[in-house]
A and B are shown apart, each in its own frame.
Chain A
Amino acid sequence: MVRGAWGRDPLLPRAFSLMAVGPGGTADILAKTVGRGTALLEKGLPGAELDILGPLGSSFPSPRADTTDLLVAGGVGLPPLYMQARLAAEQRAVDHSEMIYGGRGAADLVLLAEMEAMRLPLFLTTEDGTVGTQGLVTRALEARLDRHRGTSVRVMACGPNAMLWAVARLAKSQGVPCFISLEEQMACGIGVCLGCAVPARSRPFRYVCSNGPVFDAADVLDVVPEGKPPGVAAPAECPS
């Protein structure tokens, strides 16, 4: 959770994924300016004083020598997969990891040189075709799943919800384990405000901040988009 010293408004800290952790307690995050909070963060650079609470929540499963991990990133959803790719590179497991990275256009794709330097196979897609293959990440993922058919494969993804559900469905249809990193509105990051609830199969709700942000897609797939889990009875308009 990240917040600048900008007074009482905007009020809440913003949740970011860690992209890299360096020596001496340094960390990298990737921010895209989408609203007032991120605009203030950008404006304060460099040298802004920030309040940071973290690291919080769960990570993707560690790389394994006997399994190929297909890392699927959409736009600003790159950071946790970038970290996963770095982890694979450090553990010399890059032979077993591939990155599929997509966006609307070339401007959405960042850190390409860094990822190339890690020597992991990189498959780029853009909706407008300015970089890589034209189309969505799911098409590239389908091709890679075909290529690895019959071997041990996992999918790990982060990006817009529509992308995540498409990726999770595709993985499910092929019987491939899939882990997704979700984003939700949250105020605290520590399981207290209960704002970042996502309906799940294992329990009526799980929390992006403390149970996630990485979930086994099977636990949340097809439960989340509709937003209403079975058996949840609450008076509709009870504040707090």
Chain B
Amino acid sequence: MSPSPVNLAIEAGGIAFRNPILTASGTFGYGREFEGLTDLRTLGGLVTKGISPKPRYGNATPRICETAAGMLNSIGLENVGVEGFEQEKLPYLRQCGTRVLVNFFGATFDEYVACGAALDRLDGVDGLEMNVSCPNIKAGGIEFGTEPRVLGELVRACRAVTKRPLWVKLTPNTSDIVALARASADNGADGLSIINTISGMAIDARTRRPKIATIFGGLSGPAIKPIALRMVYQVRRAGIPLPISGIGGIQDATDAIEFFLAGASTVQVGTQSFIDPDCSGHIVRDLEARLAADGVTDVREIVGALRV
């Protein structure tokens, strides 16, 4: 194979990636599920399913439903827990040939810190991504990540227990994404993932029931791309000094390029991996071709290059 005419390699948030195409947490399992369906060695990186200190079995069913150009889910953060992750999942990930970010969360402040500390000790983890979209049970169920002061304290506490690259995955369920980004930056985060799913609901008019058991769920898919682009751009424009990993409805290389233009250094492909398990591989190949056709020699040239 001839050498690539376009440089796709990028350093972002303390991690050197071979290209800026990652797979998003919750849509790529623990990587191994995609063995034989895509070549992980061609991806920039993968972000694991969210890990909590103890295993979680997840929510009642039905857990998902399709919506217009999207889907709602309320899986309930089902995962194998830190210990299960280390024993059952990490050995594969250590040799899978791509960068591995471990997404993590807790049901309480202390659980976040304990989980971050436990993951910090594991070999083969290139970085950590905090999922701050969980309800803070002690504070009446409001999401940790919606209140800048609470988010800042949480990020600072997790920062104190890990030297690994620490990214914060922001919730879009806010009126001020910039304040959340700033709170993360001011408290030691190395990168921002923008955005998590948008809270929504779907109703079956015939049965008069909600379509998923928990009534509310997280909306994902192409339906949310304009909101994600807007939030990435707002954070970029505000001059928050952290690299952004753009997430929300990315299905092809053009979508990825739109996120780079808005200010993302990397992107994460989510729901589309359900529809086409090899889509991230396609996007890497198409991205190179698209940039070459546009005369771009380095993907970094287009990060934040939106003309306004």
Contacts and interface: CB of A to CB of B under 8 A. Distances in A.
Interface of A: 3, 8-13, 51, 53, 184-188, 190-195, 197-199, 204-205, 227-229, 231-240
Contact of B73 (A11, A234, A239): A239
A238 to B, nearest CB: 5
Contact of B61 (A184, A191, A236): A184
Contacts, number: 142
B16 interface: no
B1 interface: no
B298 interface: no
B64 A185 contact: yes
B70 interface: yes
B215 A237 contact: yes
Contacts of B193: none
Nearest to A224: B61
B221 A193 contact: no
Q: Would you list the 3 A-B pairs with minimal beta carbon distance, nearest first?
A: A239-B218, A195-B64, A188-B274
A8 B251 CA distance: 9
B205 interface: no
Given A9-B69, A195-B75, A197-B63, A231 B57 contact: yes
13 contacts: A12-B275, A185-B66, A187-B271, A187-B274, A190-B34, A190-B277, A193-B64, A199-B60, A205-B58, A238-B76, A239-B133, A240-B50, A240-B196
Nearest to B272: A11
Contact of A235 (B26, B71, B107, B196): B107
A6 to B, nearest CB: 11
A184 B62 contact: yes
B122 interface: no
Contacts of A205: 57-58, 78
A8 B213 CA distance: 26
Nearest to B134: A238
A190 B37 contact: yes
Contacts of B137: 235
B287 to A, nearest CB: 19
A237 B222 contact: no
A53 B38 CA distance: 13
Contact of B68 (A9, A192, A199, A227): A9
Interface in B44-69: 50, 56-66, 68-69
Contacts of B215: 237
B234 interface: no
Given A198-B61, A234-B57, A192 B273 contact: yes
Interface in B171-218: 196-197, 199, 213-218
B29 A235 contact: no
B260 interface: no
B69 A8 contact: yes
A127 B68 CA distance: 36
B275 A11 contact: yes
Contact of A186 (B64, B68, B141): B64
Contacts of B75: 193-195, 240
Contacts of B76: 234-235, 238
Contacts of A185: 62-66
A234 B58 contact: yes
B304 interface: no
B77 interface: yes
Nearest to B137: A235
Chain B CB within 10 Å — which of A12, A188, A227, A238 has the most? Answer: A238
B148 interface: no
Given A9-B69, A227-B213, A239 B64 contact: no
Contacts of B65: 185
B113 to A, nearest CB: 18
Given A205-B57, A234-B57, A193 B214 contact: no
A235 B133 CA distance: 12
Contacts of B141: 235, 237
A192 B28 contact: yes
